Amino acid sequence: MKKLLFIYNPYAGKELLKPKVSDIVDIFVKAGYEVVIYPTQSYRDAYRKVQECESEEYDLIVCSGGDGTLDEVVTGMMKRKERLPIGYIPTGTTNDFANSLHIPKNLLEAADNAVNGEVFPCDVGRFNDDIFVYIAAFGLFTDVSYETRQEVKNVLGHLAYVLEGTKRLFNVPSYRIKFTHDGESVEDEFIFGMVTNSRSVGGFRNMIGRQVVFDDGLFEVTLIKTPKNPLELQEIVAALLIEQIDTKYMFTFRTGEIAFESLEEIPWTLDGEYGGSHDEVIIQNYKQELSIMVPKKHIDSLHFKGNDLEKKV
């Protein structure tokens, strides 16, 4: 019999998973798996569990929680010599990456996908010596996800991020940054930057283009320049709210590798969790290095089809 390790965060989202655990395990067993269940006990526990388990013990690892739980499992997997496919049951507040991959919102349907879906070879990011699944970001609002208390997220959901974020509008930090990609360098003042492999960020769709695919070896990069006055800030926020790129204030391009240099250390967030403060960052795309289960009917929409995607500033 095949073996499955089920790692879940019992406190993610609104604790929706707890009453469903038995039904989820039943789906796994009916798919032919012997199941080992592991509820996480602390921060980085999922990372340790994945990194330490023996490859011959399991055929598949399924995790459930928010983006942070998925990040821990993927990071642990990427630091192993022998990697296993990952199934994902999203129970977090926003679940950007799961939505991008068409992983069902219904927990039992997501569990079925985790064992009966199709393995998709997805890109994954390297951030200096760390790993991220779908976003590395700095600046405006990026600390909201890890500074908003879990109990507030559980009650308010996505609105919690919006409410927390609005507090920052009148004290926007600005950073002098030089970024380099594909032989080109730009230096300017920025209030925000993100390197992504997702079709939505913070629940907002189309912020990063409409042709995002997940196995092309390229990230989508968006950088927002520092506004010179309140009116410019208002225009930037308005563009974000209607989910459009304003080229007067933003750089957008695709690249497989990008380097950032700054005079001061800048706090970064990786998949919604604190990623440390850095004055030098190198981000690389590990093309098709992550094996993740996705619905068979959607897999064609996730693949790179060789269309000409421009790489430009």
In a domain, 295, yes or no: no
Last residue of a domain, one of 116, 148, 176: 116
Q: Crossing angle, helix 45-52 and helix 67-78, to 10 degrees? A: 30
Q: Which two tokens stand for residue 153?
A: 């997220």
Q: For the ranges 18-22, 72-76, 272-276, which has the lowest average pLDDT?
A: 272-276
In a domain, 304, yes or no: no
Q: For the ranges 22-36, 60-74, 207-221, 251-265, which has the lowest average pLDDT?
A: 207-221
Q: What is the mean pLDDT of residues 30-59?
A: 93
Last residue of a domain, one of 88, 116, 144: 116
Distance, CA of 63 to CA of 196 (rounded, Å) = 22
Q: What is the mean pLDDT of residues 162-180?
A: 72
Residue 310 pLDDT greater than 50, yes or no: no
Per cent of the chain over pLDDT 70 is 80
Amino acid letter, 94: T
pLDDT band at 158 (very low <50, low <70, confident <90, very high): very low
Residue 99, pLDDT score? 87
Residue 161, pLDDT score? 47
| Residue 158 belongs to domain spanning | 130-286
Residue 211, pLDDT score? 72
Q: Are 111 and 146 within one domain?
A: no
pLDDT band at 177 (very low <50, low <70, confident <90, very high): very high
Q: In this structure, what CATH number is given to the domain that contains residue 271? A: 2.60.200.40
Residue 202, pLDDT score? 61
Chain mean pLDDT for the chain: 84
Q: Are 31 and 97 within one domain?
A: yes
Q: Are 99 and 147 within one domain?
A: no
Q: Which two tokens stand for residue 49?
A: 């569990």
Cβ-contact 4, 60 below 8 angstroms: yes
3-state secondary structure of 111: helix
* Residues 6+ positions from 1 with CB-CB distance below 8 Å: 32, 33, 34
Q: Which two tokens stand for residue 268?
A: 């970064």
In a domain, 37, yes or no: yes
Residue 73, pLDDT score? 97
Q: Are 50 and 79 within one domain?
A: yes
Residue 143, pLDDT score? 56
Q: For the ranges 137-141, 273-277, 289-293, 304-308, which has the lowest average pLDDT?
A: 304-308
Amino acid letter, 284: Q
Q: What is the mean pLDDT of residues 228-243?
A: 75
Q: Exposed/middle/buried for 153, CB within 10 Å: 0-12, 13-18, 19+?
A: buried
Q: Are 22 and 154 within one domain?
A: no
Q: Which residues face 4 on adjacent strands?
A: 35, 60
Q: Are 94 and 41 within one domain?
A: yes
Q: Are 204 and 103 within one domain?
A: no
In a domain, 292, yes or no: no
Residue 173, pLDDT score? 83
pLDDT band at 131 (very low <50, low <70, confident <90, very high): very high
In a domain, 45, yes or no: yes
Residue 246, pLDDT score? 66
Total domain count, the chain: 2
Cβ-contact 274, 146 below 8 angstroms: yes
User: Which run of H or of E encompasses 95?
Assistant: none
Cβ-contact 87, 120 below 8 angstroms: no
Residue 288, pLDDT score? 96
pLDDT band at 16 (very low <50, low <70, confident <90, very high): confident
Distance, CA of 9 to CA of 29 (rounded, Å) = 20
In a domain, 122, yes or no: no
Q: What is the mean pLDDT of residues 36-51?
A: 95
Cβ-contact 286, 95 below 8 angstroms: no
Between these two residues, 123 and 245, which has the higher pLDDT value?
Answer: 123
Distance, CA of 245 to CA of 248 (rounded, Å) = 9
Residue 24 pLDDT greater than 50, yes or no: yes
Q: Are 163 and 266 within one domain?
A: yes
Q: In this structure, what CATH number is given to the domain that contains residue 72? A: 3.40.50.10330
Q: Map 212-231 to HEC letters.
A: CCCCCCCEEEEEEECCCCHH
Q: Are 247 and 179 within one domain?
A: yes
Nearest to 194 by CA among 152, 255, 150, 151: 255
In a domain, 46, yes or no: yes
Residue 172, pLDDT score? 72
State the alpha helices, DSSP H only, in the chain.
Answer: 21-30, 45-52, 67-78, 96-100, 107-116, 144-147, 150-156, 158-166, 230-241, 299-302
